């Protein structure tokens, strides 16, 4: 995962330089499709929201904790969709 903006995740150029400096070369790369990522997140979030609603009904004294968890999940998805490039890198050492 690379940062698109100035966050706590390394920018793409820095991450790729670190990989090369460590003695690896990138053989292939697949970046996640943002639309597919968003669709997957929305589907997962609907399930999480339903589970949170159920848990709040069953354990109303813990409602704040469940709502906080849901808010964190939604924020994480927002950041993944807008601030990061989710990627899969295939690397190897040059001597192979």
Other CB atoms closer than 10 Å to residue 52's CB: what's the count?
Answer: 20
Q: How far apart are the C-alpha atoms of 75 and 13, rounded to whole Å?
A: 25
pLDDT greater than 90 at residue 8: no
Please say if the pLDDT value at position 73 is more than 90.
Answer: yes
Half-sphere exposure of 60 (CA within 13 A, CB side): 1
pTM: 0.73
pLDDT of 43-64, one tens digit each?
999 999 999 999 999 999 999 9
- Residues above pLDDT 70, as percent of the chain: 96
In DSSP terms, 2 is beta-bridged to 85
Position 35 pLDDT exceeds 80: yes
């Amino acid at each position: 995962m690379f940062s698109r903006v100035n966050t706590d995740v390394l920018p793409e150029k820095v991450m790729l330089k670190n990989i090369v400096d460590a003695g690896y070369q990138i053989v292939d790369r697949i970046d996640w499709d943002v639309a597919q990522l968003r669709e997957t997140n929305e589907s997962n979030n609907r399930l999480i929201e339903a589970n949170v609603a159920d848990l709040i009904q069953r354990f109303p004294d813990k409602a704040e904790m469940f709502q906080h968890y849901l808010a964190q999940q939604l924020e994480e998805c927002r950041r993944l969709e807008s601030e990061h490039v989710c990627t899969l890198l295939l690397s190897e050492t040059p001597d192979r």
